[in-house]
Structure 1
Amino acid sequence: MKTSEKEIIRGLKKGDESTFVYLFNEYYVSLCAYSQKYVGRKDVAEEIVSDIFFSIWENRKKLKINTSLKSYLFKSVVNNSLYYLRKLEKENKLKEFFSDREVNNIEFSFSPEEVLEQSIIKNNISEKIEEAVNRLPEQQKKAFKLKRFEGKKNKEIAELMGLSIKTVEMHLSKAMLKLREDLKNSLPDFLFFILFKSL
């Protein structure tokens, strides 16, 4: 079977189904595992990767890959996974998506050791965020907690704190910059973006 990336791409463009099956079998499992690191759910990761392969086949004749085929596939997984999370964020469903109920539904796809490791990582991230928030100046910390943890709107925060909306926005902006600096070595960029995007 073809192993050269150029041959694989050439085969795809010609509509060679055996080439597509080879590509699918070669990368599907690893791509799903990679996507799952972002979205946290096996079923969603499989859907994302399946959509990528479907898109490749549907657009095979005009397929343009400027990097290696492997890099192209993994980059596509990253982009599609982050797009999925941003879409959930816009629909205010991200918290529900990562709720304990959802996590419990997918724990069977991991070994007990992996479940424990994920729990430790989750707790460590939560602790680091809490510590960073508590280090913020008092006004920034109060505004941030009202926004992030209580879901208050800027107008409501302004009323509760006796400040103007502009001042609240300034405190939130400064809080986000300070948190990004404090968490840059412990919180992945994509996770920071998802957690604090709405501020």
Structure 2
Amino acid sequence: MNNSPKEQSNCTFIPVKHLETIKVFEKKSDCDIWNAFNKGDEMAFNYLYRTYVHKLFQFGSQYSRDSSLVKDSIQNLFIYLRKKRGSLGEVTNIKGYLFKSIQREIIRNIKSNTSFEGFEENFLESHFQLEVSPEVSFIKNESEDERKIQVQQALNQLTTKQRKAILLFYEEELSYKEIAEIMNFSEVKTARKLIYRALASLKKYIKPTSY
């Protein structure tokens, strides 16, 4: 990343596979990768950027349809991390840490552009809309357009927290513990119950496929 922050905010967020970097870090634990980055390893920083930038953009786009705002938020996050390396705390789950960080950054950026009181709850309730993705395991076999529309409508019937938990669990394949941390739940069982209830609700809204 030799570009200036302004130039970086206009780049396309496609994770470029740098073979040498991938080879060095792909088998290391999150803790080892983070420690290497925190100690100033530039290759570790590049690995983090190339591995997670696209995932962060997908996740951040659930909060805002303004792609420029999402991209700028991601760039701001990585600039901050690079500036603070050497003084950052221990991280054992990088994806969870980055998701929670970008969530805060995007909300902060949107919040700074509005005087809407009670912003966060109302905004998330109306804007966090989980989109149907072929990678989501519980709808993998539902490829027909009509079925996808039905699934999308069902997802939109869920609460904001339920949609968010479903995204993190199925799309990002995070554990209940990791979801609890991202969503600021004090107990892991809260995340588990939220997902179970979301799935139960989806079953009510999605009609069985007729053969």
Q: TM-score, normalised by structure 2?
A: 0.43
TM-score, length basis structure 1: 0.46
Name the one with the larger helix percent.
1
